[in-house]
Amino acid sequence: MLRRDELENTWELYGLRENPYSIQAIYVLGGIIPIESFVGREEQVSRLKRIVGSKGGSRTLVYGDIGVGKTSFVNVVRAQAYHRGFFTPFKEIIVVENWEIDDFIANTLSAIYASCKLLGDKKPLQPKTYSKLENLFEIAREEKDVGVSVAGFGGNYSVRKNTHGSPSTMSLIAFFQEVITEINKHTGKDVIIHYNNLELMPEKNLKRLFDNLRDFFQTPNVHFIFVGNLTVFSSMQSIPRFSSILTDSPIKIENLSIEEIKTILKIRMEKMRISEKITYTVPHTDSSLQSLYELYKGNIRNILNSLSTAVLSKTTERAIRLDEFSLCTTLRSILEDRYLSNLPNRARDVLLEVVKHDEITNKSISDKLHIARSNVSGYLKDLEKEGCVHVRRKNGKDKFWSAQPQMKWYILKFDEDRAKQRSLREF
């Protein structure tokens, strides 16, 4: 049988330039995922736009479950603001676990610097201030002993160590204010700063940081947007000093509806088609999308990931339409080959019990499977190492375990009735 070169771009067989199921977020300046494919969230978009549009500054928390579309949501609002003349560092600032106060401020400055650099002549800063900013950062691959690490946009920047050591927190804040004032003057608009994935920072550090950065976050004419998952939301609630500085109640991002996901995929494919003259093939069917939507209760990231894995694995020499049945069998056999076949029987039983629940404690598993708790605990640790399960949350001593998204392929259902109805309809 003729087999394609596996290094060829599979998506070309479908008449598409790229993977329409990519899980990349939508970026401010555009990227693989077309910004036009952003769908829904009208109410949240208008709320956030109103917040950043009201001059003076603000602090907003945007939160939601993993992979629902938080980053894309904030980026879309920032992109609109950017096109209306606002300055915003293009890339969201990804918070790092062990950041200290100075790292936080320095990384904010570094993100501003990186975007100014990209803007060339259009940067909203005087040459003098820009070179001050430039002087603060240098590419320091060899220099490890710098006071503050800057891992933000572009990576590899470090605050240059001067003869007095690193700049003090006070001087960093003062310089930040100077930069902001100048951008405000130049653009006539406020600045928007987006900190992403606050869940990467342990609660203790988050608490200390927000306690100490209260004044920084009150800088006039800056809109600070903090993004985090559900645990960040609960941590923030327990930091009264933080919740009291929030401008408005937090914005919650929920799962999209199936119709919205259908629209997203349609727009993505239209935008990614190789040519207007060539038709393209949609690799999935409505019913395969429906079954994944049900499995993941609407989580778009997991749905896209599953479709991408299944289509890539099933496509050999020509485009296919992955129906519910082939989707199920393909994903289940991938799961079996990649994960389950390597597991000892008892560990496998434990995993398959975890898969059935949104979350489950060691004790419930032990009760259900009649395995001693200490043994369950050992299996769970092994499964965690293999990337099959993770601790979703803790409550006192109790750990609540969840299966990693791919493990759910085990319970992906093939709805025969629905398939029959469909084939009748299509007939």
The span of 69-77, 135-143, 212-220, 362-370 binding ligand ATP (CB under 6 A) equals 69-77
> CA 391 to CA 421: how far, in whole Å?
40
| H runs (alpha helix) in 230-299 | 230-237, 240-243, 258-272, 286-295
> CA 325 to CA 332: how far, in whole Å?
11
188 burial via Cβ count (<10 Å: 0-12, 13-18, 19+): exposed
CB 82 within 8 A of CB 28: yes
Query: Going residue by residue from 259 to 288, which x/- string records binding to ligand ATP, judged by CB under 6 A?
Result: -----x------------------------
Select the residue whose beta carbon is closest to Mg ion and give its number: 71
CB 211 within 8 A of CB 241: yes
CB of 40 vs ligand ATP, minimal distance in Å: 5
The span of 68-76, 137-145, 158-166, 373-381 binding Mg ion (CB under 5 A) equals 68-76
Binding ligand ATP (rule: CB under 6 A), the pick from 129, 197, 255, 402 is 197
Nearer to Mg ion, 71 or 362 (CB): 71
Nearer to ligand ATP, 241 or 393 (CB): 393
Work out whether 404 is an interface residue with ligand ATP (CB under 6 A). no
CB 312 within 8 A of CB 16: no
CB of 22 vs Mg ion, minimal distance in Å: 14
Binding ligand ATP (rule: CB under 6 A), the pick from 67, 89, 124, 167 is 67
Select the residue whose beta carbon is closest to ligand ATP and give its number: 69
Q: Which option in Mg ion, ligand ATP, none does residue 403 bind, with CB closer than 5 to 8 A by kind?
A: none
The span of 70-78, 137-145, 205-213, 252-260 binding Mg ion (CB under 5 A) equals 70-78
Both tokens of 222, joined, read 């800056």
Residue 266, C-beta contacts closer than 8 angstroms, at least 6 positions apart? none
Candidates 17, 14, 20, 28; CA nearest to 305 is 20
Binding ligand ATP (rule: CB under 6 A), the pick from 66, 96, 239, 282 is 66
Query: Going residue by residue from 29 to 48, which x/- string records binding to ligand ATP, judged by CB under 6 A?
Result: ----x---xxxxx-------
> CA 73 to CA 41: how far, in whole Å?
8
Angle at Cα 342 formed by Cα 337 and Cα 347, nearest 5°? 120
Q: How many Cβ atoms from other residues are within 10 Å of residue 243's Cβ?
A: 14
CB of 331 vs Mg ion, minimal distance in Å: 24
Binding Mg ion (rule: CB under 5 A), the pick from 71, 110, 149, 362 is 71
Cα–Cα separations (whole angstroms), residue 1 to 4, 85, 123: 10, 57, 57
Nearer to ligand ATP, 71 or 115 (CB): 71
The span of 40-48, 66-74, 263-271, 343-351 binding Mg ion (CB under 5 A) equals 66-74
> CA 193 to CA 225: how far, in whole Å?
6
The span of 69-77, 211-219, 250-258, 285-293 binding Mg ion (CB under 5 A) equals 69-77
Residues that bind ligand ATP (CB under 6 A): 23-26, 33, 37-41, 64, 66-72, 197, 229, 256, 264, 300-301, 304
Would you tell me which residues interact with Mg ion (CB under 5 A)?
71
